Amino acid sequence: MSTQPVSIAYLGPKGTYCNEAACAFAKRMGLEDATFVECVSFDDVFDYVNRGKCTYGVVGKENSIEGPVTATLDNFAFNTSANILAEHVVDIHHCLVLHPDACIDDVTTVASHTQGLAQCRKFIAAKLPGRTTISTSSTAESARLAVSDKCVAGIANAYAAELYGAKVVERGIEDHCGNQTSFALIGQPGSAPQLTGSRYKTTLALFLQRDKAGALHMILSEFAYAGINLSMIQSRPTKQVLGDYMFFIEFEGSVNDLSVQTALNCLRLKLREVKVIGSYPMD
């Protein structure tokens, strides 16, 4: 019996941290022969999964320095029925990369993904003051751009530099030690791979009936009563009326836990919608 080929969409080009996470997910699922599909944005990754063009997708979820990736949160809230199936955390180690024949004095422009630029602010100010900064679609794209122009420095990982033939000038240029990004494996309900873990995490999107005093306190109280410790809470505009917000909640635990079921059932009586984005194994 033939089986449907497995494909995994990720933020390209090859050599991004997202590509690294996609390879890690494929290995965990025993899918080393999966096809990897490059996308130009996280929106496109969601689109490929939504339309069934790819079996799975990999998107950035949260960075330890810059916080949640809002484009990912908004897609989960408003644009997709895809769920989080698993999480993988990648250690972020940025490098300053140049054209093989260039030196730092040649650089007039520093290019990288917005997250890469934000995570290396101090380095740029100290070592490349006054240079123009431009955003690229990914950190790997900045390495590719640097190879094409001696005046451009990229901020990317060492793998991307090697892949595209850029020269690594300095390593570990991120402003903070312990810089990590969590990536989510996404797929349509029912497509969950055979992944298990000793610990689970659950992500929710919560929509209020109406904005009123004490609404957030009411939500938090249900988790407190159930003894659930929240690891993330993030508000996002509903994009309908100015000042109207919904909330993302994340905690360690599974929807199969009795305490979690109790909290969710109580919230469903009080909120317009409780959307379970995923209940999935952690690394």
CATH number, domain containing residue 56: 3.40.190.10
Helices 258-270 and 215-225: crossing angle in degrees, nearest 10, is 160
Q: What is the pLDDT of residue 211?
A: 67
Task: Name the nearest CA neighbour of 42 among 57, 63, 64.
Answer: 57
- Cis, peptide link before residue 13, omega less than 30° from 0: yes
Would you say residue 2 has pLDDT above 80?
A: no
Q: What is the residue range of 251's domain?
A: 201-281
Would you say residue 4 has pLDDT above 80?
A: no
Please identify, among 187, 222, 257, the residue that sits at the C-terminal boundary of a domain.
187
Residues 150 and 22 in one domain: no
Q: How far apart are CA 206 and CA 215, in angstroms?
A: 11
Residues 119 and 56 in one domain: no
Determine the average pLDDT of the residues in 78-86. 91
Residues 112 and 13 in one domain: no
- Angle (CA) 148-152-157 rounded to 5° is 85
Q: What is the pLDDT of residue 9?
A: 97
CATH code of the domain containing 216: 3.30.70.260
Tell me how many domains the chain contains: 3
Determine the average pLDDT of the residues in 57-86. 90
Q: 229: which 2 tokens?
A: 């410790």
Residues 152 and 219 in one domain: no
Would you say residue 138 has pLDDT above 90?
A: no
Q: Are 45 and 76 in contact (CB under 8 A)?
A: no
Does residue 112 lie within any of the structural domains?
yes
Phi and psi at residue 72, to the nearest 5°: -70, -45
Would you say residue 179 has pLDDT above 90?
A: no
Position 1 confidence tier, pLDDT thresholds 50, 70, 90: very low
DSSP conformation class of 78: I
Residues 67 and 183 in one domain: yes
Does residue 1 lie within any of the structural domains?
no
The proportion of the chain whose per-residue pLDDT surpasses 70, expressed as a percent, equals 95
Position 3 confidence tier, pLDDT thresholds 50, 70, 90: low
Residues 117 and 75 in one domain: no
Phi and psi at residue 34, to the nearest 5°: -65, 150
Residues 104 and 75 in one domain: no
Task: Give SS3 for 175.
Answer: coil
Amino acid, single-letter form, for residue 225: Y
Q: What is the pLDDT of residue 144?
A: 93
Does residue 114 lie within any of the structural domains?
yes
Residues 28 and 167 in one domain: no
Q: What is the pLDDT of residue 194?
A: 64
Task: Name the nearest CA neighbour of 250 among 75, 90, 73, 115.
Answer: 73
Q: What is the pLDDT of residue 128?
A: 94
* Single pTM value for the model: 0.83
Q: What is the pLDDT of residue 67?
A: 86
